[in-house]
Every structure is written in C-alpha cells, then in structure tokens.
C-alpha cells in the first residue's frame, strides 16, 4: 500500500472549508516527506467543483464518492464511502482536517480500516521502517503523547492550524476515479441540521474570549465590543456559558469550539487545560488575568497582569483611536 489521501466530506457549495484545505496541506506535507503520491477523496453529492479544486491543489488522483444519499452528513454512509475510497486508492495513510463531524466519523473509519486512528495530531514524523511517530494532544491539551503507527491504513485527525493550504494552480488537473458507494440501511428518521447564522467562530482570524474575571454577564459586552473593533468574533469559557453570560455557540474549549486564529485574547480566563485545548494553536495568544501565576501565562506570547474590567476598556479606547473613531 502506498499513498497519502486527504478525505473531504460534504464540501459546501461555496468552496472547501479551512479543515478541508488543512487536510490537503497535511497530505501534501507527508507525501513530500515520504516520496509517496498525494491523493484526495471527495465524498458528497454534486461535488465537481471540490474535485477540481483538490486536483488544482496538488492531488495526483482524486477518488470521488458522489451519490444523493451523501448530500448531507450521516455517519454510517460517510464511513462506508470513506472506507470504499481508501480501499480503491490503496493508500496507507488517511488525513482528515478538523470539521463539524470529524470526531464522529474519523475514529469509526480507523476502526473499520484496522490501522488505528489518532485525533488531535500536532506533528507527524515518518520512521525509517515506514511507520509514523505521531504527536497528539492528550488530557485536554495539558500533555502530548507520541504514538507509533505501523499498521495500515492509519487515520490521522489533524489539529487546527497544523498544515497550511497548498497553493492552487488553475488548470492543473488530476486523474479522477469514481468509486461506488451504495446507500446503507437507513437508520435516521429525521435529519434537521442547525441553521448557520453569521460567520463561524472556528474560521475567525481574531477571537476575543472572556471568562469568570468579567464578574457578571453584563460585562461580556466588553468582549463583544473589543472583538468587533478588531474585526473578530467573541468567545467564552465554559464557566460563563454555564452561567448564561454567553451562548453555547461561542464556547471555546474541549467541549466547545476549537479555534486557531491569528490573534486570541483571553480576558479573565485562568487557562485551564480544557479551555486551552480549544485555542492553544492560535498564532498569537494574549492573556489578561489578575493572578500572575495563572496557567494562561504559560501559553501567552503577551501577558497583562491586571483586572480585565480595567484592561478591556483601555484596549477598546485604543482600538477606537486607531480606527479614527
């Protein structure tokens, strides 16, 4: 078996997601390290544009499972289709980017293929014997584990921000291989996806998050204002979501959204491992906390030892002045 294949599942009509592009980037990087071909698989319905883009971003061959029953995500159907395309490709490594449904189908695919699955991958190092040493976050991001995967096909679920999107070269076509993916026995009676409202937190370039240091729900308005001034989106710790100060869709952390922005501001957040699991791959992290020994300062590139309720208004003032307001 040879080849590194990136799995793209249910790509939206407007183009590949950040997770899809990171999967292609991760597959390209591993292919370059190992000398094996870079492959891609697209699963969905009416996915011609995604297939073309996968080829333009470096895939030598693109395996396609295109069927009406794959138009919307269903775990059984996607796992069946993914197993079929991996089998057809004879790839030894499957790369999957972070997406809404990744945690549901990637481990199941690893079990189906028999080579194992590692999620939260932060680094991959090929071994001399043809295997991989895979580094991943464990214990809510407070530690790293190294796995050695010799069995194939192995499934790697990438952490956000691990791989850059490959450059796109228009007109550089790839061989397209259609793969039959019969519909499984239907077990879902009602499938009603949540309606997306506004931009997605996971794709924001700037995230400003608040924690218990805000002291009350009314003060979350400071988080929203600073985020807006910076052209970003507000986030929240689980503690204040549980208090009802912020909606659950803005929660960042192990049980919330996993973000990887260019700038992450954590105001009044201690930096517990469960929260840091959701933001530790941010390019620049700024911590604001009254406790100079708070864990957040171990992760932060810039730290402000102060009261968030005093620091945030000053940052808001400065950002207004910079914008000319």
Arithmetic mean of pLDDT, 250-265: 93
pLDDT range class, residue 177, cuts 50, 70, 90: very high
Range from 50-59, 81-90, 119-128 carrying the lowest mean pLDDT: 119-128
More confident residue, 272 or 186: 272
The CA distance from 208 to 221, in Å, is: 11
pLDDT range class, residue 182, cuts 50, 70, 90: confident
pLDDT in tens, 275-324: 998 998 899 999 999 999 999 999 999 999 999 999 999 999 999 998 87
Domains of the chain: 4-178 (3.40.50.620), 201-322 (3.40.50.1220)
What pTM, to 2 d.p., does this model score?
A: 0.67
Arithmetic mean of pLDDT, 56-64: 94
The whole-number pLDDT of residue 162 equals 85
pLDDT range class, residue 185, cuts 50, 70, 90: confident
pLDDT in tens, 14-34: 789 889 999 999 999 999 988
pLDDT range class, residue 2, cuts 50, 70, 90: confident
Arithmetic mean of pLDDT, 249-262: 92
């Amino acid at each position: 078996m040879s080849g590194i294949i990136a799995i793209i599942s249910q790509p939206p009509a407007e183009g590949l997601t950040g997770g899809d592009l990171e999967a292609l980037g991760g597959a390209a990087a591993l292919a370059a390290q190992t000398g094996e071909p870079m492959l891609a698989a697209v699963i969905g319905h009416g996915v011609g544009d995604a297939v073309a883009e996968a080829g333009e971003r470096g895939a030598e061959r693109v395996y396609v499972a295109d069927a009406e029953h794959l138009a919307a995500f269903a775990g059984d159907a996607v796992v069946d289709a993914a197993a079929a395309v991996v089998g057809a490709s004879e790839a030894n490594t499957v790369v999957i980017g972070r997406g809404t449904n990744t945690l549901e189908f990637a481990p199941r695919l690893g079990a189906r293929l028999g080579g194992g699955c590692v999620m939260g991958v932060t680094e991959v190092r090929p071994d001399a014997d043809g295997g991989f040493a895979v580094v991943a976050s464990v214990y809510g991001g407070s530690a790293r584990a190294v796995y050695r995967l010799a069995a194939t096909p192995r499934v790697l679920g990438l952490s956000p921000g691990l791989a850059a999107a490959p450059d796109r070269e228009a007109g550089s076509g790839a061989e397209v291989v259609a793969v039959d993916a019969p519909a499984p026995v239907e077990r879902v009676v009602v499938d009603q996806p949540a309606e997306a409202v506004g931009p997605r937190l996971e794709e924001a370039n700037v995230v400003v998050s608040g924690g218990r240091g805000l002291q009350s729900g009314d003060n979350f308005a400071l988080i929203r204002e600073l985020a807006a001034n910076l052209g970003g989106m507000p986030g929240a710790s689980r503690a204040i979501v549980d208090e009802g100060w912020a909606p659950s869709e803005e929660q960042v952390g192990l049980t919330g959204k996993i973000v990887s922005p260019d700038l992450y501001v954590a105001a009044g957040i201690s930096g517990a491992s469960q929260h840091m699991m959701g933001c530790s791959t941010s390019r620049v992290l700024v911590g604001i906390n009254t406790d100079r020994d708070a864990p957040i300062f171990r992760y932060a590139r810039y730290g402000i030892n102060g009261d968030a309720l005093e620091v945030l208004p000053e940052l808001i003032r400065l950002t207004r002045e910079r914008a000319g307001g």
